[in-house]
Structures are given as C-alpha cells and as structure tokens.
Amino acid sequence: MASRAHGELLARDVGELVGVSGTTVGQWARRGLIRSSQSDADPRVYGVEDVGEASVVAELLARGLGHRAVHCAIERLRGNGPWPLSEAWLATTDEARPRLVLRENGAKYALDARGWQRLAVVPPLREVRVRLHAAPPTA
C-alpha cells in the first residue's frame, strides 16, 4: 500500500509549526530538502508528514549540518519511504563539526562522502526528533 500524505497546510503554517518562515519552507521544497506532497503548484500544499520532514531539516541545520549533508542523507535514505528523514532514527555527534548518525539493526553509522560508515567507537550522540512549535498566543 502506497504512503499518502494527510492534511493540507500552506508554507506559512508549516513554518510556524517548525519554527522557520514560510519562505524558508518554500525554499526547502524547491531545493528538494522537503516535499510539498499535496501539491507542487502555486501555492504549494504540504501534508502533516511533510511537517515532520521540515522539522528534522530545521533541527539538522540548526545543529550545524549543511544543506549538502542534508541532501546526501535524503539520497542515502531514499529507501525508507517518501519521508526518509523522519522515518529513520537519526542523531548528530556532539562535536565541533557535527556528523549525522543513523542507527539501524543495532549498529550506528556516520554519513560521510562515501556513504554510511559503521562507527567502531560511538561518540556522544544527540537524537534528532520531530519537534513542533506552539502557535504564538493571539491577542
């Protein structure tokens, strides 16, 4: 059974939920960091699952990973389904230059230019979770 997105949200709504601007969400979609799974036409329409992906992208960028690393992770996780980042167990290393780490089948793998490399020694990790922001109070 194919996965399908749920709900219909505009970029500003997705941005509000993940703590970035709607413009940033639109840029991420145009650059392939997230999908607008309900509609790619103007205005783009996002599903709830796209919000989860946007939340992970926001967290990874905030932790110091670059756009290139996020793109690489998405490509390497493509087999995990239509929302590869939020469907994988991910963490970042707690280092000056953080690395992305995937836990799979009890092992931990760091992403580098050659792909996922199994870690023989696992450094301290910070798990990446989907985090949604509360809407600001209305007056």
Write the CA distances from 122 to 66, 103, 117, integer angstroms: 22, 11, 12
Domains by residue range for the chain, with CATH: 11-127 (1.10.1660)
pLDDT at 1: 45
Q: Between β-strands 89-93 and 125-127, what pairing exists: parallel, antiparallel or unpaired?
A: antiparallel
State pTM to two decimals: 0.89
Structure tokens at 35: 């999908």
- Collapsing DSSP to helix, strand or coil, 66 comes out as coil
Edge-to-edge, what's the strand order for the sheet holding 115-118?
Answer: 115-118, 107-112, 100-104, 89-93, 125-127
Tens-digit pLDDT profile for residues 99-119? 999 999 999 999 998 899 999
Q: How far apart are the C-alpha atoms of 84 and 60, rounded to whole Å?
A: 14
Low-confidence residues in the chain, pLDDT < 50: 1
pLDDT at 138: 63
pLDDT at 7: 78
